[in-house]
Structure 1
Amino acid sequence: MKKRGKILRDTNAGPGLLSIDGVQHPFTLEAHWKSDTPPKVGLVVEADLDDSGALRTVIPVADTQLAKEQAELAMQAAKAKGGELAAGLTARFGVPTLVAMAALVAGWFFLNTIAIQISSSYRVGLSFWKILGVLNSPATLMTSFSDAGGGAGGGIYAFLCIVALIAPLAPQVWKDKRAHLGGLLPLAFMLLVALMVYLGISDSLKQAQGAASMFGGGQGGRMAENIGNEMLREAMRAISVGIGGYLSLAASLYLAGRSAIQFLAAKA
């Protein structure tokens, strides 16, 4: 049978000594060592023992093999730890809540919340996170269309986004019935952002109308108003909701409904 051992003493001054499962075995180059590389203290070896436990052969284990085995052990430990963590989170928060939170993260950070039809052949998308960057710094709108550019940071909106994202977990750390209302924050935040986007577009067009009124008088103002209203309608038609918008809306509606039910149950 084959077992792993470690060399305790080399063969420079007589027989060497290796340890296998706490038992020491003497060995010699001539009778046991099966390698061109001389034995060294601390070297991991593979020893072949007969049925009585007597040493037959000793072969060094390659460093690459040891590294591979250590990596496999580390992977197994990580999987076991991940399984324990997943089981703990499931037991604490419940599968539906974790699924909704994961959907919210995907919808806000990785998928397009809105798509903008720039031309008949050019369509771009913005994630919810990028929209927050545009709200914080409208001048970065064009760079937000590029994945490489990434847009600017969300500033205070990014902070509110993170707060809204973790708010549904508030009942786990705050034992008050009002903590259940934290589940309403993702939906409320999304509605607030949608309103701010609409008001931002509307305000930009009103500023353009005001500038036209200054130069064109009353008639120019009325023409600018008509053009502005038409531009607003066209702008809204060019914007469509992406899969990230639908996914995060569904997740936030679930969290809001669950939050309301739990709050009412705690209040009763």
Structure 2
Amino acid sequence: MTNNSTYQMISGKILRDGQNGNGLVSSNGEQYEFSIEKHWKSDTPPKLGASVNIEIDSSGQLLSVQALDIQSEMSQRFKQMSGKVQTEGLPAVKELAQHIQKDFVALVGIPRIVIFVGLLLSWYVLNTLVIQVSARYSVDFNLFELLGVVSNGGLDSLGRGKAPSSGFYGFLAWVSALLLFMPLVWKHRLAAWGAAAPLIFMVLTMLSLWFKIRSGSSQANSMAAGLGGDMAAQMADQMMKAVMQAISLGLGFYVAMAFAIAGAFIAFKESR
């Protein structure tokens, strides 16, 4: 059993994970080298930048390093605050909300939260696709409106300026965004790859849309050729080329791709 007069438990951060030689932790301006075999006491390997509990003796010598279980601390703190809410009322409720917000940010990290919010804004608010109908008139579609085209194959809805419901593809968009937080529910190194889901979704969605447009173009050419011969097919082909030239990617696409690439970078970095 640890004697508090002899040993001290402090919190710190991992500066070097110790996968190649000794690791390094820092706390209150002090740095301590540690060995995975001798000092590391957690079941999962040390991760660069992770929060840890550091045990040192009275002379300042490192005794052990253990990963900080933020979820367990959150659960324990929530139980304590819940009891406080019952006795103190509204002031304790405000304090509890502040603790939940602080702990959530500490658990998932600010980058993931920023990427999640950025994706939703770029998907819902900004335009992903622009159709220039005339010199003065254009039709804009956000991602979820565009997903209706992919989901229902309604390429003709682009011409009407109204996209069908996003349906199952809209559900997949939300799933891909929420997978940013997969490490919350799956404690495994591979869970970090959930942050790459938005990029995969964006790429597959745009490829699917491109194939649908190409398929629609081929069908139009075949129908025109069947009705009016080669001349009609050439006219249909020219019309489709004009349509393709009128379609351009909007600001929302580039913003969403930037956030999605940032998520993929986090996935690559944290899974190493």
Normalised by the size of structure 2, how large is the TM-score?
Answer: 0.59
Equivalent position amino acid for 1:99 in 2:
V
- Taking a change above 3 Å as real, the CA distance of residues 261 and 212 of structure 1, as seen in their structure-2 partners, is same
Q: Which has the larger radius of gyration?
A: 1
Deviation at 1:245, TM superposition (A): 1.3
Given that residues 224 and 236 in structure 2 are in contact (C-alpha distance below 8 angstroms), is that contact kept between their aligned partners in structure 1?
no
Deviation at 1:194, TM superposition (A): 0.8
CA RMSD of aligned residues (A): 2.7
Give the counterpart of 2:267 among 245, 259, 266.
259
Deviation at 1:80, TM superposition (A): 5.3
Corresponding residue for residue 250 of structure 1: 258
* Aligned residue runs from structure 1 range 215-226, under 5 A: 215-217=227-229, 219-220=230-231, 224=233, 226=234
Deviation at 1:90, TM superposition (A): 1.5
**d(CA) in 2 for partners of 1:241, 1:136:** 19
1:127 is aligned to 2:163? no
Deviation at 1:142, TM superposition (A): 5.3
Corresponding residue for residue 166 of structure 2: 154
What's the CA shift string for 1:210-243, capped at 9, x where partnerless?
Answer: 11222334x34xx61x444443433232222222
Corresponding residue for residue 213 of structure 2: 201
**d(CA) in 1 for partners of 2:205, 2:114:** 23
Deviation at 1:162, TM superposition (A): 1.5
Corresponding residue for residue 141 of structure 1: 157
Corresponding residue for residue 123 of structure 2: 108
Over the matched positions of the two proteins, sequence identity in percent amounts to 29
Deviation at 1:86, TM superposition (A): 2.9
What's the CA shift string for 1:19-73, capped at 9, x where partnerless?
Answer: xxxxxxxxxxxxxxxxxxxxxxxxxxxxxxxxxxxxxxxxxxxxxxxxxxxxxx9
Give the counterpart of 1:94 among 105, 109, 112.
109
Corresponding residue for residue 194 of structure 2: 182
Partner of 2:254, secondary structure, is helix
Give the counterpart of 1:235 among 237, 243, 258.
243
Partner of 2:128, secondary structure, is strand
Deviation at 1:258, TM superposition (A): 1.0
Partner of 1:111, secondary structure, is coil
Deviation at 1:248, TM superposition (A): 0.9
